Amino acid sequence: MKIAIIGANGKAGQEIYKEAIKRGHDTTALVRDGGKAKGILGANTKIIEKDAFDLTQKDLAALDVIVDCFATPPPQAYRHIDLTAKLVSLFRETESPRLIFILGAGSLRTGADKHLLVEDIKHMAGSEAWINIPIQQLKQLKFLQEVDNVNWTGISPSALFEPGPANGVLLGKDDLLYSGDGKSHTTTGTMAVAVLDEIERPAHVKQRFTVADS
């Protein structure tokens, strides 16, 4: 398949890129800094060097899948929604390319009362510096859930999302998952495996699901 990854030089994007290449897919990195991307992903990396907000339908129309791994500083976290809206607007009433969005964990349910994890995050020490990211990613999910004429899928990691190799794959829907050690965590390697599994064997069309280390 022809897969493009927005933010392929970022924490999640680079592992998804590497997993896609490993599985033999025709994979393109959509990045603002091509030199940086080649330094991270390799000199032979296929690149479109362009700001994500400047991408056109012509740039993307030949693709089978676009994976949005866009990241932004907390004050501009609203741009997650803006980019999602842009991609959706380019491909209304189409089935291809498929749009896959890496979302946050804040929109997952937790606790006996099934409250949103973002409410717990608000009370964490120091979270005021970055809380806007999960808040805006919750809005991003709510926007997607109203989209019924675009082929989209959202994927949320567990509470702790950190670099690391794949460590088994545990899937869920809307509830926060816990790994075998009783903690809630997802490595970037595990996320990459889950994303490529979903690309190759679609199971969550027009839905969000979550993945944790097993």
Q: Please give the Cα distance from 17 to 6 (Å, whole number).
A: 10
Average pLDDT, the chain: 97
Give the tens place of pLDDT for each residue, 82-134: 999 999 999 999 999 999 999 999 999 999 999 999 999 999 999 999 999 99
Q: Which helix (H) or strand (E) holds 115?
A: strand 115-116
Q: Which domain holds residue 175?
A: 2-212
Give the tens place of pLDDT for each residue, 66-81: 999 999 999 999 999 9
Q: Which helix (H) or strand (E) holds 111?
A: none
Q: In CATH, what number is assigned to the domain containing residue 137?
A: 3.40.50.720
Q: Please give the Cα distance from 200 to 189 (Å, whole number).
A: 17
Give the tens place of pLDDT for each residue, 128-153: 999 999 999 999 999 999 999 999 99
Which of 130-140 are b and which e, b meaning 16 or more Cβ less than 10 Å from the residue's Cβ?
ebbbbbbbbbb
Q: Is the dihedral of CA 32, 34, 35, 40 positive or negative?
A: positive
Mean pLDDT of 2-23: 97
Q: What is the pLDDT of residue 43?
A: 93
Number of structural domains (the chain) is 1
Q: Please give the Cα distance from 120 to 192 (Å, whole number).
A: 26
Q: What is the pLDDT of residue 113?
A: 97
Strand-pairing partners, residue 98, are 65
User: Directed axis angle between helix 11-22 and helix 34-41, to 10°?
Assistant: 60
